[in-house]
Every structure is written in C-alpha cells, then in structure tokens.
Amino acid sequence: MKNRIVSEFLRKYWTNYLWGTVFLLLCVSMEALSPRYLGIIIDLLKAPVVDTHQVMRYVGRILLAALGVFATRFIWRYFIMGNARNMECFLRMKLFRHLQQMSVDFYNNRKTGDLMAYAINDIGAVRQSFGPGVSLILNGLGMGLISVFSMAKSVNTRLTLFALLPIPFVVFIIVRLGGTIQKRFRTVQKNFATISDRIQENISGIRVIKTYVQEEDEVGRFDVLNDRMKQSNINMVRVSSILTPLIQIFFGISFTINLIYGSSLVRAHEISLGDFVAFNGYLAMIMRPVISIGRIINIFQRGMASYKRLGEIFEVEPGIRDEIPPSGSMERLEGNLSIRDLSFRYPGQEEYALKDININLKKGRILGVIGRTGSGKTTLVNLLLRLYNVEPGKILLDGKDINEYSLEELRENIGYVPQDNFLFSDSIYENVRYFNDRYSDDEIKSAVQSSMIYQDIMEFPDQFETQIGERGANLSGGQKQRISIARAIIRHPPIYILDDALSAVDTRTEGAILKNLKREMEGHTGIVIAHRISALRKADEIIVLDHGRIVEQGTHDELIDQEGLYRELYQEQYGQEQRENMENEAS
C-alpha cells in the first residue's frame, strides 16, 4: 500500500495514539504496584507483632491501584482500539474511492470475490494490527520493562537474570515462525477470495444453474474449494498453535529456576519471603506479554500479508485519467457531436474494434446505429463516455475535444441507457431518481410515463415503494429496461444514448416508447443503438457498422433501397411480405 495513505491517517489521528500510549503506561505502572504491595503485606504479617494499620493501608493501596488500572485501561482501549476502527473506516473509504476511479478494463480483469476480500478481510486484518497489535506491543513493552526494573531493583538482580534466561530463546523461535505464518495467511486470503467469488457467481447466476440442473455439480465444485479453504486454515493454525505451548514450556523453566534459586536466597536471608512473592508476581506479569508475543506475531504477520495485498490494489493507477479538474459550475453542452477518423482497439488486442469512423451529428438530430453482434456498436458508446482513453482530436463535443472536459462534466451531460440494465436493491422510486433529491414526484411520474412503465408500477402492491431485488431479479427484462430509460429521461440531458435499450419490450410498447422518446429528445441529440430496425426507422440518420467500419449511411428509406447489409437485416427481420404491407400502409 502506498505509505502516503497510512501517513495521511496518522497525521489526522496521531493524537489518539499519543493519549492511548500515555494512559496505557499509567495503567501498567499502577498494575506493577500490586506485587510490591503484596510482598510488603506478607512481610508485615510475618513480623512478631502485626501492625494492622500498616497492613490495611497497603490493602487500600492495592484497591486504589486496581481502581486506577480499571479507569486507565478503559481510557487507553478507547483511544487505541477506537483509533483502529477509525483506520478501518479510513482505509475502506480510500479503497472504495480508489475502486470508483478504476476504469472498466480494471474490473474486466478482477474477480468480484477478490475485491470483496480486500474490502472486508484484508482491511479487517490491517485493523487488527493497528488496534490489538499496537496495544499488545505497547502493553508488553511497558509491563515487561517496568516488571524487570522492579525485579532487579526491588528484589535481586542475579535472580532476575537467571529467571529471564529462557526468554530470548522464546523470542527467537517466535520471530522465525513469523514468516511462515505470513505466507500461509496469504494463501488463506486467496482461498477466501475464491470462495467469495464462487458464492457471488452462484447467487447471480442461480437461474442459469437451475435451468441447466447444475445444482449438485456446483455443490461438488464448491466442496472442493471449501476443503481447500479448510486445509489452508489448518496449515496456518498448525504453525501458529505451536507458539503458546512453546512459550509456556520456557516459562515453566523460568518459574522452576525462580523456585529453586529464589527459595535458596530466602533461606539465606538475602531476600525476604515478601520479596520472593513479589518476584513471582512480577514474573507472572512478564509471562502475559511474552505469551502474547505469539498473538502479536500472528496479528502482524496477517496484517502485513493483507497490507501487501491492499498495496497491490492501491498501486494500480486509473486507466482513465481526469486531466481536467471539475469546475464549480457544470457546463451544459449543446450536443453537437463530431467524430473524425476514429480508430480504436482494446488494450492487449491486435485487431481494431473501430476503424476510420467519421460522424457529424448536429444538435436536435437522432442517429441510429445498427450492425451485427461484435460490429463495434457498444465500443463506440464506451468511447463517447470515455470509459476507455480516446486519442486527442478524434471526438469533439460542441467543437471541443472530449479529453478537454472533466469526466464528471462529460458524463453529466449524457443520459445513458446500457445494454445490461443495472438496478439497485432499493425501491423503484429511488432507482428512477438515482437517489437524487433534486427531482420532484411530478418529474418522476412524467419520466416513468414516458418510458411506459407507469402502469406496471401502479399494479404493484407498493407501487413506487416496491423493493427491487438484487439487480432487479423480481422484474421482467422489459420492466428493467423501461426503469433504466426513465432514469435517463428524468435528467433531460443534452445527449441521449440508448444502447439496445428496447430489446426486451414488445413491438407495440417499443413504438409507444419511441414516440415518447422522440418528444423528449426534441432539441436534444440522440444516439439509438439497436438490433431491431423498427427502433431506428424514425432516426434522422442511420449508420451501419460491420467489423468496426461504417459500411452504409443514410435514412431508413435510403438504406432500404440499397443492396447492402441494412436491407439484408431488414429482410431477415420482417420478410418481403411485411415490407410490402408496410409500403401499402405508407401509400
């Protein structure tokens, strides 16, 4: 991940870590008082005459220290753990914003499940590093240093050195295991992404799966992935589970050394029984942070693995750069479109998707685009929306190079209805206005009436508040298309682009929608892409694409009279008899 992102977060929230550290050290200092006070109480109780007042005073100090530990622990956890949640939200927003800036080509090469794993698992692992990980390190260092200092100064230096002799070996072994844990955790994350992607694909494609009776086959394939995920977790746990028993063994050695050598010092009257008890208390305090080293290594190795994965995403630069910063006021275009000698091929492809395209479309006119599948129709739209980079001087809007508009300004001036209609899992009302408060109820009603979906909405029990399933699963294809058309109409953009937006409606509804669209587009520029010639008959001009080239150009009647691809498509769709009927009706 780019270090500037973490630096930006720390610049904003560093004071939380500062105060958290201060209160954590106060907490550890007060916690370290209890073993010492307990040792003093034991020595007081061993005296020939017990000073009850002194004993109760130290008991009171232990209670006050416990109260102080409670208060300061709450405060440092609030600052440090709370700041980790700030980090999680900060990173997730950065990632989401970064993904929003990525080009279409980026998503063509990435799986949804993998991107979901970045946003959930990986960011969660980084949060663990900045929360529990940081607190465990600070707590361990503070408690360890204060305990060792107290053991050496208040009890006995030699006993301290002997008792702590096994600790460096523990640390060495734990650090050596860290790299293996990180490597195996990366495998776990990859397998999680694969499973997420499989689940997402199955949910999205459940109709296809059921239609082809593939339920059991999909379960079998998922079972393989599930076993792989289980095995990768077991491989990681196999390493990480060694840490705690290993630490306990070495601390068992420390306590044994303390018991043997410490008791001899008590018998030799070099230390008191209270000192010996206090020493054991300090050793127990050291044991907690050292045991947590295993957890720290676990957390940080997982965090580092996720950190590197996130870094790979953040290092990807947007394929489409917005060289022009958006201005405060949005310029409304007239809608004059000029395309000059445009040729384009997709990244990594040798064959051109479009070749030598020339179009001159004036404001208020409607251009029809037709061609067989793969002829370049949708590619043309992608370039008009700058979903891919366009060479300078090839596409002009109102006489200005399309690259000289900001992406926001360009796309705000285009009402686009794509082939693949996407609806959000929300109400019809919100889908039409696209969560924009500037549209009134009357405008929404007018838009759905123009797209011929109003009657369908009124027949739903909840009407405009009808909740749409994921990607419009509870609507027909025609209903989804008409809601998408209403979404474009309500904006009243200077340029309308309909990419095969009427393919799922019947011819009668298509005719009514086209009539309404003709009225809505009056004074606006329109580009209508279609497979059905009936959707293009009223266009002012039609271009016919074949293998990325314009092979014919003219009005419907002109193209019908030519011996070309348009006439061939017309005959395929209507037949000679229908043509004669239409000619008779026209006469």
Q: State the Cα–Cα distance between residues 230 and 262, nearest whole angstrom.
A: 47
The residue that leads in pLDDT, 556 or 503, is 556
Task: Return the axis-axis angle of helices 167-204 and 243-267, rounded to nearest 10°.
Answer: 160
Please give the torsion angle defined by the CA atoms of residues 51, 57, 62 and 63, in that order, rounded to the nearest 10 degrees. Answer: 130
Q: State the Cα–Cα distance between residues 212 and 373, nearest whole angstrom.
A: 25
Provide the 10 A C-beta neighbour count for residue 522: 10
Confidence band of 1 (pLDDT split at 50, 70, 90): low
Which residue has tokens 């609507």? 475
Q: State the Cα–Cα distance between residues 523 and 334, nearest whole angstrom.
A: 9
Encode pLDDT of 291-323 as tens digits. 677 677 778 777 887 888 888 788 777 777 766
Q: Which two tokens stand for residue 237?
A: 């746990």
Encode pLDDT of 48-101 as tens digits. 777 788 888 888 888 998 899 899 989 988 888 888 888 888 888 888 888 877
pLDDT at 329 over 70: no
Q: Where are the strands (E) in 139-238, listed by range?
A: none
Q: State the Cα–Cα distance between residues 105 and 254, nearest whole angstrom.
A: 60
Query: CA–CA distance from 327 to each of 405, 424, 495 (Å)?
Result: 10, 29, 20
**For residue 377, which of 574, 154, 552, 546 has the smallest C-alpha distance?**
546
Q: Is the pTM of this model over 0.95?
A: no
CA atoms within 13 A on the CB side of 477: 10
* Cβ-Cβ contacts under 8 Å for 360 (sequence gap 6 or more): 337, 338, 339
Which amino acid makes up residue 78? Y
pLDDT at 71: 92
Encode pLDDT of 439-496 as tens digits. 788 888 888 888 888 888 888 788 888 877 666 667 777 788 888 888 888 888 888 8
pLDDT at 88: 84
pLDDT at 106 over 70: yes
Name the DSSP class of 2: -
Cα angle for residues 508, 512, 515 (degrees, 5° grid): 140
**For residue 258, which of 358, 156, 402 has the smallest C-alpha distance?**
156
The residue that leads in pLDDT, 458 or 178, is 458
pLDDT at 577: 44
The residue that leads in pLDDT, 113 or 395, is 395
Mean pLDDT to the nearest integer, 233-260: 78
For residues 397 and 571, is the Cβ–Cβ distance under 8 A?
no
Encode pLDDT of 266-290 as tens digits. 788 887 787 778 777 777 777 777 7
pLDDT at 584 over 70: no
The average confidence (pLDDT) of the chain is 80
**For residue 142, which of 83, 78, 85, 69 has the smallest C-alpha distance?**
69
pLDDT at 351 over 50: yes
pLDDT at 124: 84
Confidence band of 201 (pLDDT split at 50, 70, 90): confident
Domains and CATH numbers, the chain: 3-314 (1.20.1560.10), 420-528 (3.40.50.300)
The residue that leads in pLDDT, 452 or 212, is 452
Encode pLDDT of 508-548 as tens digits. 787 788 888 878 777 888 888 888 888 788 788 888 888 88
Q: State the Cα–Cα distance between residues 83 and 77, nearest whole angstrom.
A: 9
pLDDT at 507 over 80: no
pLDDT at 164 over 80: no
